[in-house]
């Protein structure tokens, strides 16, 4: 019974004219497709909506300043500095303008089929302690965003990008940069599980969330080589608990099998261990690999070296998506004549090859790719499109139609 309801739902969705990305799916297919439709019918081709719910100054410099946050390193310190009320007002304006409905249309128009939405646990406000400092009021903008994306036919990955206590050290993407990350306690695991339980219910019961097919339980946690005690504890005590909470909620809601979420973990290349080690069940598990050649010391830092690296180094699992990558190259060479883009716009043609090489490999070896990030402003004094898809397309460094990029690969 539920099976047919779900199928009818997808058929109804497919008949909405605005849904361009899935009109090619036949109605026969639609019967067998649920929430996880995308990785089974096409490659994931997407962008991250970075700096929306967790602002990182390094790629949103102007935006951060206009929020009144200049001089503060992360959201916590800005909220603490401005005071809760003033900060909530500043963040409200930010959420309203950073990603608009036009951005979502443009994303779909460029042949992309996916958005990955990084969120901090504090979007569920009752999880936040009085002693903690995070902005309030983001949830209605998440609801609005996923609704727009569903209307545009986009598939959605929701990513718990920032954990209670912070899951890694000295990073603004955790919302609270701390030298000693404090996520690795049963109390904070429980807060993260409460978030996952709640968002799972929202995904399955709120129509705006109908295109969310994947839920990532934790972005970029501490690496084993940084603190083996913490990373092993997380794999043993948080990952299985997170899995169980999501599935238990789905079971309570009688979600049919084809609509169970893909539950996503960082792949083992990340360096926090093997996520599945203590899982009782791995049905519909999915992995996330972050492939930043800019930080990869194996790459020879020449144009040919980067193409070679893009074509040969990636080794993720077949059920992994590269959830983050960029067009950047090593800091030491990114502004020289060979790689600079500010004074050498003709380098855009090479970057287009570099992009095509990367995505062809991520599509061939795995489930596809999600670029970091859609939008940025003022990195090092200019819009460095090596980190922003929107401007890279305008500069001619990414093809206008994302689904054609891999066929232009030099690999
Ligand atoms: C690693 O984590 C453990 C447990 O949280 C902590 O006691 C220890 O100080 C940490 N080690 C380092 C080097 O930070
Ligand atoms: C895994 O399954 C066993 C046996 O059913 C059970 O005792 C255990 O609690 C389960 N572990 C988790 C993390 O769910
Ligand atoms: C870097 O260059 C050396 C020498 O040409 C070559 O042997 C090696 O495979 C290259 N490494 C990569 C990752 O391309
Ligand atoms: C993008 O390319 C694909 C594959 O060639 C094609 O099917 C699709 O129609 C193109 N989309 C647009 C908007 O041109």
Ligand closest to Cα of 240 equals: 2
Whether the CB of 111 sits within 6 Å of ligand 4 = yes
Q: What is the 8-class DSSP label of residue 377?
A: B
Whether the CB of 20 sits within 6 Å of ligand 4 = no
In the reported structure, the alpha carbon of residue 111 is separated from the centroid of ligand 4 by a whole-number distance in angstroms of 7
pLDDT in tens, the chain (411 residues): 233 333 333 333 433 333 334 444 443 344 457 899 999 899 999 999 999 999 999 999 999 999 999 999 999 999 999 999 999 999 999 999 999 999 999 999 999 999 999 999 999 999 999 999 999 999 999 999 999 999 999 999 999 999 999 999 999 999 999 999 999 999 999 999 999 999 999 999 999 999 999 999 999 999 999 999 999 999 999 999 999 999 999 999 999 999 999 999 999 999 999 999 999 999 999 999 999 999 999 999 999 999 999 999 999 999 999 999 999 999 999 999 999 999 899 999 999 999 999 999 999 999 999 999 999 988 777 889 999 999 999 999 999 999 999 999 999
What are φ and ψ of residue 311, in 5° steps?
A: -80, -25
Buried b (16+ CB within 10 A) or exposed e, 29-59: ebbebbbbbbbeebbbbbbbbbbbbbbbbeb
In the reported structure, the alpha carbon of residue 391 is separated from the centroid of ligand 4 by a whole-number distance in angstroms of 20
Give the ligand 1 atom nearest the CA of 184.
5
Give the ligand 2 atom nearest the CA of 278.
13
Give the ligand 3 atom nearest the CA of 299.
13
Q: Is residue 324 annotated as part of the catalytic site, yes or no?
A: yes
In the reported structure, the alpha carbon of residue 182 is separated from the centroid of ligand 1 by a whole-number distance in angstroms of 10
N- to C-terminal Cα separation, the chain: 48
The model's pTM is: 0.92
CA 37, CA 54: separation in Å to the nearest integer? 28
Give the pLDDT confidence score for residue 32 in this predicted structure. 56
Whether the CB of 403 sits within 6 Å of ligand 4 = yes
Q: Is residue 220 annotated as part of the catalytic site, yes or no?
A: yes
Give the pLDDT confidence score for residue 205 in this predicted structure. 98
In the reported structure, the alpha carbon of residue 201 is separated from the centroid of ligand 3 by a whole-number distance in angstroms of 49
Give the pLDDT confidence score for residue 27 in this predicted structure. 39
CA angle 93, 136, 63 (to 5 degrees): 35
Buried b (16+ CB within 10 A) or exposed e, 112-145: bbbbbbbbbbbbbeebbeeeebbbbebeebbeeb
Mutate to test the pocket of ligand 3, among 291, 302, 305, 307 (most ligand atoms within 8 A of CB): 305
The predicted-structure confidence for 213-238, as pLDDT tens digits, reads as follows 999 999 999 999 999 999 999 999 99
Tokens of 252: 């309570």
Give domain limits for the chain.
44-290
The predicted-structure confidence for 183-198, as pLDDT tens digits, reads as follows 999 999 999 999 999 9
List the one residue out of 169, 164, 187 whose CA is nearest residue 241. Answer: 187
In the reported structure, the alpha carbon of residue 305 is separated from the centroid of ligand 3 by a whole-number distance in angstroms of 7
Give the pLDDT confidence score for residue 379 in this predicted structure. 78
Mutate to test the pocket of ligand 1, among 230, 237, 272 (most ligand atoms within 8 A of CB): 230
Q: Which of 220, 250, 289, 363 is catalytic?
A: 220
CA angle 313, 319, 323 (to 5 degrees): 65
Contact 190, 218 (CB under 8 A): no
Give the pLDDT confidence score for residue 6 in this predicted structure. 38
Q: Any idea which architecture 44-290 has in CATH?
A: Alpha-Beta Barrel (3.20)
Nearest CA to ligand 3 atom 6: 300
Nearest CA to ligand 2 atom 8: 280
Ligand closest to Cα of 43 equals: 4
Whether the CB of 185 sits within 6 Å of ligand 1 = no
Whether the CB of 42 sits within 6 Å of ligand 1 = no
Residue 79 makes CB contacts below 8 A (sequence gap 6+) with 87, 133, 134, 135
């Amino acid at each position: 019974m539920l099976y047919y309801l779900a199928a009818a739902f997808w058929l109804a969705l497919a008949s909405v004219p605005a849904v361009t990305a899935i009109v090619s799916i036949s109605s026969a297919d639609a019967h067998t497709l649920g929430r996880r439709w995308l990785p089974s019918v096409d490659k994931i081709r997407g962008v991250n909506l970075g700096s929306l719910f967790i602002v990182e100054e390094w790629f949103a410099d102007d935006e951060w300043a206009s929020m009144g946050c200049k001089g503060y390193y992360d959201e916590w310190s800005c909220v603490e500095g401005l005071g809760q009320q003033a900060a909530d007002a500043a963040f409200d304006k930010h959420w309203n303008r950073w990603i608009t409905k036009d951005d979502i249309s443009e994303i779909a128009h460029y042949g992309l089929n996916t958005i990955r939405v990084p969120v901090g646990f504090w979007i569920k406000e009752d999880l936040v302690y009085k002693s903690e400092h995070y902005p309030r009021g983001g949830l209605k903008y998440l609801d609005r965003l996923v609704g727009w994306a569903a209307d545009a036919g986009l598939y959605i990955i929701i990513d718990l990008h920032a954990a209670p206590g912070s899951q890694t050290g000295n990073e603004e993407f955790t919302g609270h940069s701390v030298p000693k990350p404090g996520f690795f306690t049963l109390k904070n695991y429980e807060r993260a599980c409460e978030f996952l339980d709640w968002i799972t219910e929202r995904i399955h019961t709120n129509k705006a969330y109908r295109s969310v097919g994947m839920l990532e339980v934790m972005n970029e946690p501490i690496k084993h080589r940084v603190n083996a005690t913490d990373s092993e504890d997380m794999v043993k005590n948080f990952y299985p608990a997170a899995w169980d909470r999501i599935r238990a909620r789905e079971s309570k809601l009688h979600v049919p099998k084809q609509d169970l979420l893909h539950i996503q973990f960082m792949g083992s290349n990340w360096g926090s261990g093997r996520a599945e080690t203590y899982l009782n069940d791995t049905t519909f598990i999915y992995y996330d690999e972050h492939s930043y050649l800019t930080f990869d010391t194996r790459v020879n830092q020449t144009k040919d070296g980067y193409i070679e690296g893009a074509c040969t180094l990636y080794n993720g699992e077949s059920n992994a998506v590269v959830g983050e990558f960029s067009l950047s190259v090593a800091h030491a060479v990114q502004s020289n004549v060979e790689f600079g883009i500010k004074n050498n716009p003709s380098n855009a043609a090479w970057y287009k090859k570099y992009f095509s090489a990367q995505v062809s490999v991520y599509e061939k070896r795995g489930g596809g790719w999600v670029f970091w990030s859609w939008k940025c402003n003022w990195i090092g004094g200019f819009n460095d499109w090596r980190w922003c898809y929107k401007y890279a397309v305008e500069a001619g460094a990414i093809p206008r139609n994302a689904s054609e990029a891999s066929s232009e690969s030099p690999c």
